[in-house]
Structure 1
Amino acid sequence: MTAPTTTDSTVVPGVSPVEHRARFSDLLAAEWIKLWSLRSTPWAFAGTVALILTVTVVGAAADAQHFAGYDKENKAYFRMFGAVGSSFSTGAATVLIVGAGAIGAITVLGEYTTGQIRTTFTAVPARRSVMAAKVAVVTAATTALGVGAALLSFGAAQGILAGQDAAVGLGHHNVVRLLAISAALAPVSALVGMGLATLIRHSVLTIVATIALLFVIPSVLNTRSHLSASILHMTILQAWRRIGYGQAPTEMWPWTVVGACAVLAVWALVAAALAILTPNHRDQ
């Protein structure tokens, strides 16, 4: 006769079974798997980097061609300032902003459009924890995207400019700051895409809203009036430009680097809050 064995699944009469909650590390692992199980994810990352490199190569090639015709004074000026700008241009920043914003949006829309989000919230009722894990994973992945894109863009541009002896290194004035803030564009934009997707929950409308917010609005605004300049200063693209490129001496409505950093921080925090808190009180 053998002694009875007990397991964790044994139910004691009159006592409710203990519900084991998923650890946050488990949620992170699950969200990481879900992110890369989407077919669109690798293509979105690769396509964003490819477009950035295309913009950078075309711009650097044009700069190198113009550099050959500069006089000594203009060549010195280009080496000091122009070569840095070639490393990550406004065009490259725009591509990164739109691409990362779309990536953030599809990580949420992928579950809402297929209905998988219902299964996720049924398995893990702690919705805020699930969304916080999703935010953390997307932030980490797009930060890597931003760092990789910035470094590859810098390498491609300086490789082309080296042919005209116009290249600069990482230790050159303002290079590290430009690359760092350019890399930060990716996670901030991705969080905006996530926040909008959680709020809107419609693929087409979310993508349109993301592009309008991150690209269209900054493109149509100008600094001719104080109101327009103030609104422009609150956009992600303009904050990047202020931190990475500095401020022109003739700026009519000047603002600070600290203010630009605050703009990016507010965008990221508000978007993350929308992504984490919105699903908690809405039916799925």
Structure 2
Amino acid sequence: MTVSAPRAGFRHLLAAEWTKLWSLRSTYGVLVTGTLVTVGICVNSARSNVDLIRRSGDPASQAQAIDPMHGAFVPDAFLIFMIITGSVGAIAVFGEYASGLIRTTFAAVPARRQVVAAKVAVVSAVMLAFGTVVAASSFGLTQAVYHREHIGLSITAPGAFRAVAASALLAPVCALVGMALGAVIRHAAGTVVAVVVVLGLLPRLFEGETYRWVKEIGNAMPLSAWEALVENTGHVPPPDGPIRSLGGRYPVTITEAWVVFGAWALAAVAVTVIVVHRRDV
């Protein structure tokens, strides 16, 4: 009499993917480093702005010129954040191919789509938690710094919760993009370079406003969508102060920005599932 082995349920796959993700020492180091770097840059920017206010000959006017929302979500800091989260997603995929563990995984669970679905669920959940910690910490700490000059924002301020939510969701979106690139390239250095190019460089290549189609391509990038979602439209600088506008001639609407987030996430998941299911290990 032949006794068949019990089939792995989806919860078992989730547990396995959770274990594999946290068994990598790089996961801890990358997430801790990403938190310190991202939040540190934003807090340092806020402190620099406060010092600028105090040294100014006209503190009231200088304080009005500073956008506290921008200090909480410094683009350069969150560009690093995007690359870090994208790299974590990529490692979750190409790490198994590089080590050969993927063969063992598919031998134990031939249903590749279920394996990928479990990996997507675990990585998305971890990255969402990570993004929430970073976004909430950056906003809370920077606004505490700005509060000394009475220009700090509360989470109930117009656009504040949206900015925190968008920054938190940016992490799983970028991680899913990294997973898709890892599934396609399957090489550590090549995948990380691809993450940097797709998430960081491509948006900057399509910033021109001479041709609308160029700008529209740039608007469809996760970085551009995030910048639109964290923009403080309620901040009015003094007449002689700097005017910061992200929209230009062809601005990204809030609705369009959320659609971009969703489209990139869905497309990344689709690419990962299709590539892993059809390509040999």
With the length of structure 2 as denominator, give the TM-score of the two structures.
Answer: 0.89
Q: Distance in 2 between matches of 1:125 and 1:152?
A: 41
- Quote the offset at 1:182 in angstroms: 0.7
1:75 is matched with which residue?
A: 63
Match of 2:82 among 75, 79, 97: 97
| 8 Å CA contact 2:90, 2:179 repeated in 1 | yes
Residues 86 and 157 in structure 1, CA contact (< 8 A), matched pair in contact too: yes
Query: Within the alignment, does 1:61 sit opposite 2:47 as a pair?
Result: yes
2:10 to 16, 21, 24: 24
Q: Which secondary structure does the structure 1 equivalent of 2:8 belong to? A: coil
The two structures have a TM-score, normalised by structure 1, of: 0.89
Provide the C-alpha distance between the structure 2 equivalents of 1:259 and 1:250, rounded to a whole number of angstroms: 12
Counterparts of 1:100 and 1:30, CA distance in 2 = 21
Contact 2:68/2:151 (<8 A) preserved: yes
The yes-or-no answer on 1:33 pairing with 2:25 is no
Q: Aligned partner of 1:258: which letter? A: T
Shift of 1:138: 0.1
Match for residue 277 of structure 2? 280
Q: Does 1:240 align with 2:237?
A: no
Partners in 2 of 1:245 and 1:206 — Cα distance?
A: 30
- Give the CA deviation at 1:250: 7.2
Q: Go from structure 1 to structure 2 and tell me whether the alpha carbon gap of 1:106 and 1:87 turns closer, same or farther (over 3 Å shift).
A: same
- Identical columns (%): 35
Does the 8 Å CA contact 1:223/1:253 hold for their aligned counterparts? no
Q: Aligned AA for 1:183?
A: A
List per-residue Cα deviations over 1:175-225 (Å, max 9, x = no partner).
111111011100000000000001110111111011100001112332322
Q: Kindly tell me: are residues 181 and 249 of structure 1, through their superposed partners in 2, closer, same or farther at Cα, counting changes over 3 Å?
A: closer
Unaligned 5+ segments in structure 1 are 1-10
For the pair shown, which has the larger CA radius of gyration, 1 or 2?
1
- How far apart are the structure 1 equivalents of 2:59 and 2:178? 46
**Residues 129 and 250 (structure 1 numbering): CA distance in 2 closer, same or farther, change over 3 Å?**
closer
5+ unaligned residues in a row in structure 2: which ranges?
234-244
CA shift for structure 1 position 249: 9.0
Report deviation, 1:92: 2.4
Taking a change above 3 Å as real, the CA distance of residues 249 and 155 of structure 1, as seen in their structure-2 partners, is closer
- Paired residues, what number? 267
RMSD (Å) for aligned C-alpha atoms:
1.8
- For 2:29 and 2:78, locate their aligned partners in 1 and report how far apart those are by CA, in whole Å: 19
Structure 1, 269-278 or 124-133: larger mean CA deviation: 269-278
Cα distance in 2 for residues equivalent to 1:256 and 1:161 = 28
Instruction: Give the match for residue 162 of structure 2.
Output: 177
Instruction: State the match for 1:147 in structure 2.
Output: 132
What is the one-letter code of the residue matched to 2:264? W
Moved more, 87-96 or 185-194: 87-96
